[in-house]
Amino acid sequence: MTNGGAGLSRRAFLGAGVAFGGMALLAPSRTGAARAPFDVSAFKPTQEVTLTAGEMELKLLGPEGPATRILAYDGTPFRTLRMPRGTRLKATFVNGIDEGSTLHFHGIRMPNEFDGVPTLTQPLVQPGGRFVHLLPLDDPGTFFFHPHCDETGQAGKGLAGVLIVEDSRDPVFDAEHVLCLKDWRLKEDGSYLPLSEPDGASKAGTFGATRTVNGAASVELKAPAGGHVRLRILNIDSTRIMDIGVEGGEAWLIAVDGHALPPVRLDDLPDGIWRMGPAQRIDLDIRMPADGSPVTVGDYRAADIYQFATLTAAGKVGKSRKGPLALPKAELPKPALKQATRFSFTLQQATDQAVKDIALPPDDPLAKALIDSLCVGSTTYWGIQSESWPTGTRRNLPPPLARMEEGASYVVEIKNETRFPHPVHLHGHAFEVMSSSLGRLPRHFADTVLVQPGEAVETAFVAARGDWVFHCHILEHMETGMMGWFRVV
């Protein structure tokens, strides 16, 4: 597929009849099973969906501009599912694109076998293939789903969707809007620039210059004057870290990665913004000015402020409520800090020695098989605790970064020794962000936390059974080594 010099290329050669003699090499060396088989017969779906990945056209360069071939589920850019809390979801993924893929429900606490990580939890889904996920949706909030193979290529071309788990106990807002932020790497004719370049993959990532919200340059939304608007903002970009700020109204952060926190006034946060890396989500409560003046929402990180949404007054609420409208407290396993076992992991630039192209010639079928089956790049730039996910010359999964016990509490410190920020994500859990050495974060639950250069962030969680990956969500970073896994038995 898309191929910058970083060599993140993995075409659908699997369908092309390449011999698979080499595949045995790829089986991760695993001892013991991390999970008791999930009792499928006891799972009674209350909702069923099919999500088919495929190509479609979208005019990303404006209504007059050329169309771009993007990837989407069911022909709907950022397809959005809404389900009530407690739903038992049967989601069938159908791979309608021309290379291997899987579906991962980001942030959902679920049985490990439905997590969608090729090699570790399931085989890669070949073109035309399908995979059934059984998901108990017990945590309300703003989640999303995306492929877990060639993410730079597939998510980079738009393959992602939104999963909103609604909670009937939530306060009633006067309006609600979902905003998916994503940049695109486009040429003027609507085709793609290389989605990854070595200079990006080895540094802050390869940025797109065409910025969009819900596929448009900006959106204008309506809300009654004096009313409360719930904004669900998702950073589904591959690369960009954003500083979300609001002007013109009162704004409170009421949830992070879907999970409620005691509302924090945005103005009370450092610089009056919430810094959000790829894969992170926030819910804001915005109180519209009573006089009908508009509110703007933007990314203030770049020198060129990107104002992606304007809320204009339409009508007026009868009785104005003071804010904030807090969500019910998150009901998540609470780590027992006194008894917790501690781990510390360091995010690193890979050593020079590891930064090498795969030792086999790139057109060797075995080299391709290695890269395709593990869904990785052919170059290593990054590591966690001196280990890299198999890339470059590494052929097998590294040993787990940690072995943990189901139901036990862990405090995991993440230290960033690189010059770049990394949004670090743990699958299958919601962890509590306890502290930041830079003192910039309120305590909150999350599934992804942004760790700044030189910063150490402490997280705590109760371990759930399974093999769970732990990786940077700057997609080029994860695909060039910044990924490891925990085994919980």
Contact positions with ligand C2O (CB under 6 A) in 206-245:
none
Count the residues of the shown chain that bind ligand C2O, applying the rule CB under 6 A: 10
Among 6, 135, 401, 469, binds ligand C2O (CB under 6 A): 469
CB 278 within 8 A of CB 155: no
Does 471 bind ligand C2O (CB under 6 A)? Our answer is yes
Name the minimum Å distance from CB 389 to ligand C2O: 11
49's tokens: 């969906």
Q: Sort residue 20 into left (φ over 0), alpha (ψ -120 to 50) or beta.
A: alpha
CA 283 to CA 293: how far, in whole Å?
Answer: 22
Does 242 bind Cu ion (CB under 5 A)? Our answer is no
Among 368, 394, 427, 429, binds ligand C2O (CB under 6 A): 427
Cα–Cα distances (Å) from 39 to 36, 119, 224, 270, 389, in that order, read: 9, 21, 48, 47, 31
Does 109 bind ligand C2O (CB under 6 A)? Our answer is no
Phi, psi (deg, nearest 5) at residue 21:
-55, -30
Nearer to Cu ion, 180 or 474 (CB): 474
DSSP character for 322?
Answer: P
Among 477, 484, 485, 488, binds Cu ion (CB under 5 A): 477
Which residues lie below 8 Å from residue 459, measured CB to CB, with a gap of 6+? 411, 412, 413, 414, 426, 431, 432, 433, 434, 449
Binding partner at 281 among Cu ion, ligand C2O, none, C-beta below 5 to 8 Å by kind: none
Does 474 bind Cu ion (CB under 5 A)? Our answer is yes
Name the minimum Å distance from CB 427 to ligand C2O: 6
Does 371 bind ligand C2O (CB under 6 A)? Our answer is no
Name the minimum Å distance from CB 339 to ligand C2O: 28
Stretch that binds ligand C2O, among 306-314, 333-341, 408-416, 465-473 (CB under 6 A): 465-473
Name the minimum Å distance from CB 437 to Cu ion: 18
Cα–Cα distances (Å) from 393 to 134, 233, 355, 379, 431, in that order, read: 36, 39, 9, 8, 33
Stretch that binds ligand C2O, among 212-220, 341-349, 400-408, 468-476 (CB under 6 A): 468-476
Does 106 bind ligand C2O (CB under 6 A)? Our answer is yes
Annotate each residue in 420-439 with x if it binds Cu ion (CB under 5 A) or - if it does not, as one string.
--x-----------------
DSSP character for 145?
Answer: E
Among 34, 375, 472, 483, binds Cu ion (CB under 5 A): 472
Edge-to-edge order in the sheet of strand 259-265: 210-213, 175-184, 228-235, 281-287, 250-256, 259-265
Does 457 bind Cu ion (CB under 5 A)? Our answer is no
Phi, psi (deg, nearest 5) at residue 219:
-130, 150
Q: Note the residues at the interface with ligand C2O (CB under 6 A).
A: 104, 106, 146, 148, 279, 425, 427, 469, 471, 473
